[in-house]
Amino acid sequence: MKNILLLIIITLIVSCTYSVYTSGYPHLKTITVIPIENYSTNYDLSDIVFTSLIGNFESDGRLKLVGLAPDCQLECIIQDYSNKIATYSGSSVDEYEVRILFSVTFTDLKNNEVIWKNDSLIISERYSKVNENSEFKSESAVQNEIGQKLFDNILKNTLEEW
């Protein structure tokens, strides 16, 4: 009886494994991320975004990062960067908004086709050094969040197409 119960539990666990990950391109297993070109005056930004993309691809696990013979490649260019005052009260700044303009190309190298390209992808996020309720407290925190949003946007428009 215990063996039957154990078998039923194992069967349920194995059969109930479900992945929310989908792929409109199941032949894509490996990726290379081209070092990011940066046309902004924030020179560290390309390293921040590149590190974020690499980390996200590694933790996501759908595409293995490789240097040689990848199935697909990601090219990203930082076209513009701004960090401007969003809101203020009197003479003090309440909130800043960071905006990054990207040009992104995701290419299927096996079929030699561009899967997704966006030359004017703007991602922005706000932060406040004074507001306790603000999710982000610094420029670097929103830069990291924008890197995460960039990754999510890339996956949404490529691998996660339904």
List C-alpha distances in Å: 155 to 5, 29, 97.
40, 14, 24
Domain ranges of the chain: 23-157
Q: Where are the alpha helices (DSSP H) in 104-157?
A: 139-157
Which has the closest alpha carbon to 143: 126, 155, 118? Answer: 126
Residue-level pLDDT at 1 = 57
Residue-level pLDDT at 57 = 97
Domain at 23-157: CATH code: 3.40.50.10610
Residue-level pLDDT at 2 = 54
Report which residue type is found at 95: E
Strand partners, 9: none
Residue-level pLDDT at 97 = 97
User: What pLDDT tens digit does each residue of the chain (162 aa) get?
Assistant: 555 544 445 544 444 443 444 467 899 999 999 999 999 999 999 999 999 999 999 999 999 999 999 999 999 999 999 999 999 988 889 999 999 999 999 999 999 999 999 999 999 999 999 888 899 999 999 999 999 999 999 999 999 865
